[in-house]
Structure 1
């Protein structure tokens, strides 16, 4: 099996050096391939060229019977497909056993969305008599007003703010820059944070990152998650809320109020409108809930 392990290591090196993939992505491929190699060891295979389509399907059946998540199986198929494509390109195998293997359908789960009442309660939860409370209120207001991803929020800098004209600049996935409008209420709280929160958090340090932690350093993703959990608990909301929930709620609520899907796509920074279309399903679900609650013969 030494030859098999060496081939896997060569592939991982190729992903890192030639493809320039991130350490996390390479680690994910490594994990998937390691499990596949362990399976091959148990089956007595000596090389990847011995593996047939039936062997792949038997392995995937085993993965499914182990009650692994659908998303895990899909990722495993994708990893094996790209790995065998590499082996064919390197002439390590002649026939690609993945060629006729279908990728399982992705299960579609509609994301959790807050009602407008829940949003109001959550936004009022932080104690704005403290610098950290003003910061948390500003973050919540900003995320709900703009639909920014948490990664976009933590990377906002002072020069990205154009509050007098109601706009902010952000850099999203693929380093794509976009301009997003920010409402008066969110702009007010960001200004409050700049005046009465950020200055005290900054202490003697110098940085142009907008949102800071207690030590005056850039706030992290984990910091926003932790603080959000505290505010959700204070608000008495029992739903499983993440920072992305505010993004989902933003998109759903403006669609319910008549916004065009293309506009929502631009605001969210989606490159493909099919990604945005999930929010139309959320809006329809909301319409059904309202109908069932209010119509006398529903």
Structure 2
């Protein structure tokens, strides 16, 4: 049973006295020095408490890996990207407070991926519809393996079609379980990838991409049947066709 699974149980996890004191000082700082509203402070308290209940150790000993694992676990529980972005922001503000209060911290937020929440496939389709769409993909062909890997990645990471098109095989960091994404204005961010999506990517790369690439030398991750880069329209046509085949009556 994972830490996050335990957190979903009814049993209340009490913070240790040290973390409880840090959290109270943080909220007092937000109220008195920052002048934030009660509702805003409550949101910060909730986000930080959720992480500390997950981590269980003294707050200042946490590393970026601990926070990334926390966010990935939430992502796998289908938390929205907007919610994940808020939690990352809350934790950064909390750890900035600890640092300013002369408490030595180990976490480096520059190594924690930022989280985008532009309109993506998960926003267009409900979670149930997306699961049905993914389950309906026939993976007995090279194109089917590609489609499964591509949609699993888009769903897991909240990627836009324009971001998926430009992905290279070198943008997948297998050991770290993150993908490097180039967004608008050539801004780069690192996004955690769920294990299910990573398995589909490995399956596609090992068994399908080589066949689609044919004799061409290219680092582009997702290729069409001619071994070329997919287009925006091409991806939306693929998604629309799969949705219709899965019985989803929705204009994508």
TM-score, length of structure 2 as denominator length: 0.50
Give matches, 1:174-213, under 5 Å. 174-213=185-224
Match of 1:135 in 2: 146
Separation of aligned partners in 2, 1:212 and 1:150:
14
Aligned residues: 131
CA positional deviation for 1:222? 1.3
Determine helix, strand or coil for the equivalent of 2:217.
Answer: coil
Match of 1:145 in 2: 156
Q: Residue deviations 1:138-159, cap 9 Å, x none? A: 1110000001111110100011
Match of 1:225 in 2: 236
CA positional deviation for 1:207? 0.2
Match of 1:62 in 2: none
RMSD of equivalent CA atoms: 1.4
Give the number of the structure whose alpha-carbon radius of gyration is greater. Answer: 1
CA positional deviation for 1:112? 6.0
Give matches, 1:63-102, under 5 Å. none
CA positional deviation for 1:114? 2.2
CA positional deviation for 1:113? 3.6
Give unmatched runs, 5+ long, in structure 1.
1-110, 242-298
Separation of aligned partners in 1, 2:174 and 2:251:
32
Determine helix, strand or coil for the equivalent of 1:189.
Answer: helix
**Contact 2:163 2:183 survives alignment (8 Å):** yes
Q: Residue deviations 1:150-198, cap 9 Å, x none? A: 1110100011110222101011011110000000001110111101110
TM-score, length of structure 1 as denominator length: 0.43
Give unmatched runs, 5+ long, in structure 2.
1-121
Separation of aligned partners in 2, 1:153 and 1:211:
8
**Contact 1:169 1:180 survives alignment (8 Å):** yes
Separation of aligned partners in 1, 2:212 and 2:181:
23
**Contact 1:112 1:240 survives alignment (8 Å):** no
Match of 1:234 in 2: 245
Separation of aligned partners in 2, 1:163 and 1:153:
17
Give matches, 1:1-298, under 5 Å. 113-241=124-252
Separation of aligned partners in 1, 2:124 and 2:234:
22
**Contact 2:178 2:190 survives alignment (8 Å):** yes
User: After TM superposition, what 4+ stretches of structure 1 lie above 6 angstroms from structure 2?
Assistant: none
